[in-house]
Structure 1
Amino acid sequence: MIKGTVRTLAVSLLAIWLPSAAVQAEDAAYDVVIRGGHVLDGAGNPWVPADIAIKDGKLAKIGRVTGTGTREIDAHGKYVSPGWIDMMDQSGGIFQTVGLAPNKIAMGVTTVIAGEGGTPVDAADIDAYFTAMQANGISVNFGTYYSATQARVAVIGDSAVDPTPAQLEEMKGLVATAMEAGAMGITTALIYPPSSFHKTENLVELAKVVAKYDGMYASHIRDESSKFLDAVKEAIRIGEESGSGVEIFHMKAAYYPNWGKDMKAAVALIDAARARGVNVAADLYPYVAGGTGLEVSAPSWVFADGEEKALERLQDPKVREQMKKELAAGPQPGWTNMIYVSGGWGHVVLANSYLDEYRQFHGQNFEEISKALGKDPADIAWDIVVKAYPERAMGLYFMMSEEDVETAMKAPWTSIGTDAASSTALGELDALGLPHPRSYGTFPKVIAEYVRDRKVITLPDAIRKITSWPAERMGLSDRGVLREGLAADVVVFDLDTMKANASWADPTATPEGIEYVLVNGELVLDGGHHTGAAPGKVLRGKGFKQ
């Protein structure tokens, strides 16, 4: 009799509890509540214990939250910060088709700023490009620059000629069109032809247009090796004479004879410029090798008459002999000579040839490949460039010192950028086809290695560098800090288990320790797994005219 009564009571209570639970979910005060975390506000302050409540994509309450959330996340023993901002992204093209950004989300990135090479569409089509991207859906927030070189090529082509005054005005008009469509500024990549054909005074004129729209001039500067300091001065000059802000992309002192000296001098140059009122800063990635196309092993004059002529020259034995002499001579005006500044072909690795016949050599340096094939390493590289075209064969250039990376990391005005694109699926190469660990490891490496293990910078400062500082730089006033009323871009991470698994041997390994990522209040990473959600927003620059 007693057992039957207990069973009946249990069934009755279950019947009462089930609909009650549904009502509680419907009546939850918030969409998400993150409880008990060590909250880092992003402004550089130490953590505080707090709950965070999110409603309708916004940070609704920070502190002691008594109301419930439709989703509750236990963050006890974990850190909670604003979403992380990638200041040097390459996803502008891939987001036209695939917007999930799985490698970026896995790293805690909620906002990316793209456009080193500009937009994948013409200036007149940028508004439609943004609209289509938003309609298709993206998992991260996206902003981009337009390229000064896009404007140049649209008006005068890809050869080494100077624009006439009328042509320069036409280029300025294209920049204005891009700014009014929502571009955040203009970029240059001055070591690569045809961008390298820009003259400083013309860039000042283009940057003056950007300044009218409160935008930024951002640059892969003209030389990162023996003339690194001159290139930094040029970037500062463009900002100082035009009135625009200046962002130096992936700042590096890539000249082994001057390791330990030039980066300190560059930091001093930027400190002095900022002291006199120039809005200049830089970003970097935490690796000693850069990655780019193998075509940079050829002098810039090879490309002076366009790509078609360059391909002819690269196949001419007499031209190759001249090129080899210049490789041995070191850096020259208008050409970095990245083989020389890296210390020779033994420090240059074949990353991706796009060719089956060279696939076995991927991951080997060119001296090793040279021994295996019995050919000059320069001839091998140039053969690959020609055969792979129109694909861009890629190399890894080990040309920086760890000391210089640390020096740049410590500067208060540096932020972090991957110089990598989003991948189409987790575990795949990024859209650039470059097997560099920065595409999967940049942000967790900063936190795990430079903060926790080596204590190069503090955790609050590292979080500031990847949240409020880049947001302030790019005019993103609605995100970058944890403040009630702002956009709910949030990362929950475990400092103790944080690990960047991506390496030179396994560049697409996913990181550990990043557990939850919310973009505009919606969970995109849940327990370390991408949810498939695409709540990201296109972020347009201050010059946008609706």
Structure 2
Amino acid sequence: MIDIAIRGGLVIDGTGSQRYQADVGILNDQIVEIGRVSAANREIDATGLIVSPGFVDPHSHSDFTMHVNPLAQSTVRQGVTTEIVGNCGFSSAPITPKSVKQIAGRLKGYGFEGDPAWRTMDEYFSHIEADGVSANFAFFIGHNSLRHAAGLDGDETVTDEHLKIMSDLVAESMEAGALGLSTGLEFLPGKFAKTEEIEHLAKVVGKYGGVYTSHVRNRDSEIFSSMSEFLQIAKTGNVVAQLSHFNVRFDTNAPENAWERAVGMLVAEKDKGLDVAADTTPFRFGLGGMSAILPEWLLKDGYANVALALKESTVRDRLKSDCDRYWRYIHKGQWSRVRLQGSLHYPEFTGMSFPEIAKEMKQDEWDCYFDILMAAGPDMDKVIMFGENMTEAHLAEMISHPDFSLGVDGFTSVDHGALADATQSQFPYCGHIEFLAHHVREKKTLTLESAIHKMSSKPAQRFALKTRGEIKEGWFADLVIFDADKVRSDSTLENPCVYPVGIQQVIVNGTIVVDESQHTLKRPGRVLRRK
């Protein structure tokens, strides 16, 4: 007798092929029968429901929150069975004495107490496995975290010793099973890195057949040089290349048809044989670091010194005309587009727009912005905002592009408590539902079969997650059963911490984690080490 029989459902297998009616049988952690399925210990009636592979998020930051939310509540309830983390240059390992405070400070912002108990990537993986998790996770090595580990916190001269420390940490982490290297080149300290430094590290990743993924330096006025740098690093390192959440924010001085032309550069290199692709997100809103708009002359000596400088009115006056970067619409005074995601020092303003915060603080938006950063001191890179970045038309062209996987660029959360208070946005609660309900059912940007392909087998293949992402006999039983006509989210900007409706069951490695829309509290997830 098998363990689980899913009967009468409409199978969308993840390949992009049309749906078909079949039973699916599971034994231990594998799919063992498709079609006519024998008797099982647990029978699930999926009549009228979709049975699909569990969703694979190609770009997540759940490594910020998983230590206080190992049940992956908000994401696994959406059908996400695997998350790719360590993105945008930030990872929670490896750690050295020079970086432990930095990593601990970031985790503290999401409710983690004390210093991390791990140092190497292998120790990190063992720590996660010992605690147990409800979903699968695969990990990048963050370049910003490597720089901190080597003692590069600002615009210091990079020596051969720095490069050796970072290279050795990359090699050690790749041996432990990391996917590859991620960069976040709009953020400190990675924004100070020269191309040659990243190429040096990418070559180490390339020796292991790994992946280079990048939040590139610029996606507006310098978008073409940023794309050229990304492609050059990929070719020099001989790596698989993934372009993170590649979009162009509206009204930010980008050249005409910037996105189409930049993606054309990517496609041209792919046609020449480079293994390169991209991913994108579901919302007009996006998450971002508040400190990223600050100029290099202020950032070069590190965040602690930035906080001291922000006490001076002359510095603030200069900044009000010298923050035309990253979310450039802030420089243009479009404050209604920006909300505070979370601040340890100003929790009462979480989820509020800056005009609303300015009204409460009785000062202009700029000074509110600087006060929030100043209060964070050396941890100001952990102060997150979210803003209205994209148009609906731009979302449609990204989501429908054949070379783009679909992810969220968020993190897993819960609907109550300290973590919920720190993650007041829709990203944790309904990102994947937005693809299914809004972009497929309402906008008809994609067919359901195409969307599920982009949410499962396509990202699984990109990151070499063997025998995951499709419904096939002998493959891992990561599955989601949902009502395509009724799946929805009631999460809003004003009340984001709401779990979705319409996800009936979620199965991870053959174990039911969500049953009749409720979490079973099981932790069958795994660290997916790259072989």
- What is the TM-score normalised by the length of structure 1? 0.88
Residue identity in the other structure for 1:79: I
**Which residue of structure 2 lines up, in the alignment, with residue 397 of structure 1?**
387
Identity of aligned residues (%): 34
**Which residue of structure 2 lines up, in the alignment, with residue 212 of structure 1?**
207
**Which residue of structure 2 lines up, in the alignment, with residue 57 of structure 1?**
29
For residues 99-498 of structure 1, the aligned pairs below 5 Å read: 99-116=70-87, 117-122=89-94, 125-256=120-251, 257-258=253-254, 261-327=257-323, 330-331=324-325, 336-340=326-330, 344-355=334-345, 359=348, 361-371=349-359, 373-389=361-377, 390=379, 392-423=382-413, 425-427=414-416, 433-498=422-487
Matched, 1:47 2:19: yes
Aligned-pair CA distance for 1:410: 0.9
The 3-state SS of whatever aligns with 1:95 is coil
Residue identity in the other structure for 1:42: G
Question: Is the 8 Å Cα contact of residues 430 and 439 (structure 1) preserved in structure 2?
Answer: no
Deviations 1:124-180 (A, max 9, x none): 621111112112110001111011222222224202123123432332121111111
Displacement over 4 Å in runs of 4+: 257-260, 371-374, 427-432
Aligned-pair CA distance for 1:342: 7.3
In structure 2, C-alpha distance between the alignment counterparts of 1:103 and 1:50, rounded to whole Å: 29
**Which residue of structure 2 lines up, in the alignment, with residue 8 of structure 1?**
none
Aligned-pair CA distance for 1:531: 0.2
In structure 2, C-alpha distance between the alignment counterparts of 1:368 and 1:538, rounded to whole Å: 42
Residue identity in the other structure for 2:147: R
How has the CA–CA distance of structure 1 residues 73 and 471 changed in structure 2, closer, same or farther, with 3 Å as cutoff?
A: same
Residue identity in the other structure for 2:34: I
Deviations 1:492-541 (A, max 9, x none): 01001011222212222111111100000000000000000000111012
**Which residue of structure 2 lines up, in the alignment, with residue 513 of structure 1?**
502
In structure 2, C-alpha distance between the alignment counterparts of 1:431 and 1:539, rounded to whole Å: 27
Residue identity in the other structure for 2:221: S
In structure 2, C-alpha distance between the alignment counterparts of 1:204 and 1:354, rounded to whole Å: 36
How has the CA–CA distance of structure 1 residues 153 and 394 changed in structure 2, closer, same or farther, with 3 Å as cutoff?
A: closer
In structure 1, C-alpha distance between the alignment counterparts of 2:504 and 2:140, rounded to whole Å: 31
The more displaced of 120-129 and 276-285 is 120-129
- Paired residues in the alignment total 504
The 3-state SS of whatever aligns with 1:169 is helix
Deviations 1:45-68 (A, max 9, x none): 001111000001110100111x21
In structure 2, C-alpha distance between the alignment counterparts of 1:103 and 1:47, rounded to whole Å: 27
The 3-state SS of whatever aligns with 2:372 is helix
Aligned-pair CA distance for 1:432: 9.4
Matched, 1:94 2:65: yes
In structure 2, C-alpha distance between the alignment counterparts of 1:215 and 1:341, rounded to whole Å: 38
The 3-state SS of whatever aligns with 1:88 is coil
Question: Is the 8 Å Cα contact of residues 350 and 424 (structure 2) preserved in structure 1?
Answer: no
C-alpha root-mean-square deviation of aligned residues, in Å? 2.1
In structure 1, C-alpha distance between the alignment counterparts of 2:360 and 2:416, rounded to whole Å: 30
The more displaced of 254-263 and 433-442 is 254-263
- What is the TM-score normalised by the length of structure 2? 0.90
In structure 1, C-alpha distance between the alignment counterparts of 2:45 and 2:400, rounded to whole Å: 33
How has the CA–CA distance of structure 1 residues 447 and 456 changed in structure 2, closer, same or farther, with 3 Å as cutoff?
A: same
Aligned-pair CA distance for 1:93: 4.0
In structure 2, C-alpha distance between the alignment counterparts of 1:41 and 1:410, rounded to whole Å: 19
Residue identity in the other structure for 1:302: L
In structure 2, C-alpha distance between the alignment counterparts of 1:530 and 1:441, rounded to whole Å: 16
Q: Unaligned 5+ residue runs, structure 2?
A: 96-118
Aligned-pair CA distance for 1:363: 3.7
In structure 1, C-alpha distance between the alignment counterparts of 2:408 and 2:418, rounded to whole Å: 14
Report which of the two structures shows the higher radius of gyration computed on alpha carbons.
1
The more displaced of 318-327 and 260-269 is 260-269
